[in-house]
């Protein structure tokens, strides 16, 4: 995999989009897959996800499902995926709860007392690390670990605050401000963490994406040597990949829209872009520069007078790649409205 180095005047920094002559499932040994928006959306599998993952396995690609959600156990997550027809073992599930529990173990050692503010996924992860869970700040905890649970209430947040204000180290599994539910978007762990932060004046250590502890946990548990991070969010999946210096694939099946992708800052730009997980099954060709034009497939894109100009026909995803190359090289203040309308 190599980044294209187009002839002519070089843009400000290398293009992050890479070329892979092999299918990504053959070029990388392990896919570190986000779940919601990549593999499933709510109670339904993302179209083509299950089939693509099975076919990727035929290329030799292993997988780990990596999630910021700390509320469910790996067994529960794997059961959910299998019901959707997605191949998964509990050992392939890596959660921010597991990463946070490892951080807690490093902080207090075997048998250390942990004030657990969270659900069964976090409690199981704490036990797996040989730590002792306690329920009150009066139980003399040595570290506080906070993760999402829909059952958390004021008393739980108060116990965390009492301990944190006393100087007990504090670890948050993640700081996602929202969580999707069957009824819509609801407050996530980040919102609950913010309440304790406001009451204590303390900023926690964070295990989940885009921070690196969860990335290290997923590599450790999967045994990945040449992993590919696969996600749908720029602010967690892709930023985490950039921080971890790991190649990434963004799929357009979840939160990130094409407009979002075009406007992505340099620390949130993926190396590969695909419509869905079938992108694992094919080679990828990065755009090439031809004068002011960036060409990909049968499409070319250029920035002219602050506007993206798009020409060509063929695969829509090639147009997206060409537009990304043009906009990312041009910098801020570029309008892509007409080109996006052209794509439909």
Q: Can you tell me the distance from the alpha carbon of 224 to that of 89, in angstroms, rounded to the nearest whole number?
A: 16
- Which residues touch 73 (CB under 8 Å, ≥6 apart)? 90, 120, 121, 124
Q: Can you tell me the distance from the alpha carbon of 182 to that of 36, in angstroms, rounded to the nearest whole number?
A: 13
In order of 32, 95, 180, 272, the CA distances from 275 in angstroms are: 17, 25, 22, 11
Count Cβ atoms below 10 Å from residue 341 Cβ, excluding itself: 9
pLDDT along the chain (344 residues), means of 10: 35 69 98 96 92 98 96 96 97 98 97 97 98 98 97 97 98 91 86 98 98 97 98 96 96 95 96 98 95 96 96 96 96 92 90
In order of 227, 242, 256, 329, the CA distances from 236 in angstroms are: 17, 10, 11, 23
Q: What is the pLDDT of residue 181?
A: 75
Annotated active-site residue 36? The verdict is: yes
Catalytic hit among 7, 21, 29, 36: 36
Q: What is the pLDDT of residue 15?
A: 59
Angle, vertex CA 279, rays to CA 275 and CA 280, nearest 5: 150
pTM of the model: 0.92
Q: Can you tell me the distance from the alpha carbon of 101 to that of 173, in angstroms, rounded to the nearest whole number?
A: 9
Q: What is the pLDDT of residue 180?
A: 75
Q: Can you tell me the distance from the alpha carbon of 36 to that of 209, in angstroms, rounded to the nearest whole number?
A: 14
Catalytic hit among 7, 34, 138, 335: 34
Annotated active-site residue 260? The verdict is: no
Residue reference for tokens 């003399």: 140
| Sign of CA pseudo-dihedral 126, 128, 132, 135 | positive
Q: DSSP letters of 279-323?
A: GGGS-B---EEETTEEEETTEEEEEETTEEEEEE-S-HHHHHHHH
Q: Can you tell me the distance from the alpha carbon of 74 to that of 295, in angstroms, rounded to the nearest whole number?
A: 43
Structure tokens at 72: 């469910």
In order of 44, 129, 173, 176, the CA distances from 204 in angstroms are: 34, 20, 10, 13
Count Cβ atoms below 10 Å from residue 294 Cβ, excluding itself: 30
Classified as helix, coil or strand, 254 is coil
Q: What is the pLDDT of residue 331?
A: 85
């Amino acid at each position: 995999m190599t980044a294209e180095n187009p002839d002519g005047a070089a843009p400000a920094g290398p293009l992050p989009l890479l070329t892979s002559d092999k299918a990504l499932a053959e070029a990388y040994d392990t896919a570190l897959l986000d779940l919601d928006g990549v593999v499933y959306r709510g109670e339904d599998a993302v179209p083509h996800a299950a089939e693509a993952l099975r076919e990727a396995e035929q290329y030799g690609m292993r997988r780990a499902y990596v999630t910021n959600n700390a509320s469910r156990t790996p067994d529960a997550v794997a059961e959910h995926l299998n019901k959707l027809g997605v191949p998964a073992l509990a050992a392939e599930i890596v959660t921010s709860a597991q990463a946070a529990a490892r951080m807690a173990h490093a902080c207090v050692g075997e048998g250390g007392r942990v004030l657990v503010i969270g659900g069964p996924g976090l409690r199981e992860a704490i036990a797996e690390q040989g730590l002792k869970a306690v329920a009150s700040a009066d139980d003399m905890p040595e570290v506080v670990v906070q993760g999402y649970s829909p059952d958390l209430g004021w008393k739980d947040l108060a116990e965390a605050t009492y301990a944190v204000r006393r100087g007990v180290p504090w670890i948050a599994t993640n700081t996602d401000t929202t969580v999707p539910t069957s009824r819509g978007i609801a407050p996530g762990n980040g919102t609950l963490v913010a309440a304790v932060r406001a009451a204590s004046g303390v900023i926690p250590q964070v295990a989940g994406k885009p921070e690196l502890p969860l990335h290290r946990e997923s590599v450790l548990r999967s045994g990945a040597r040449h992993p590919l991070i696969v996600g749908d969010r720029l602010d967690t999946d892709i930023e985490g990949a950039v921080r971890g210096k790991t190649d990434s694939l963004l799929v357009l099946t979840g939160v990130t829209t094409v407009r979002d992708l075009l406007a992505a800052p340099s620390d949130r730009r993926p190396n590969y872009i695909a419509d869905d997980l079938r992108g694992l099954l094919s080679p990828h060709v990065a755009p090439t520069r031809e004068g002011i034009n960036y060409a990909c497939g049968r499409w070319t894109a250029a920035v002219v007078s602050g506007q993206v100009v798009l020409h060509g026909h063929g695969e829509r995803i090639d147009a997206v790649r060409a537009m990304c190359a043009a906009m990312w090289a041009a910098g801020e203040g570029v309008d892509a409205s007409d080109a996006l309308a052209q794509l439909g």
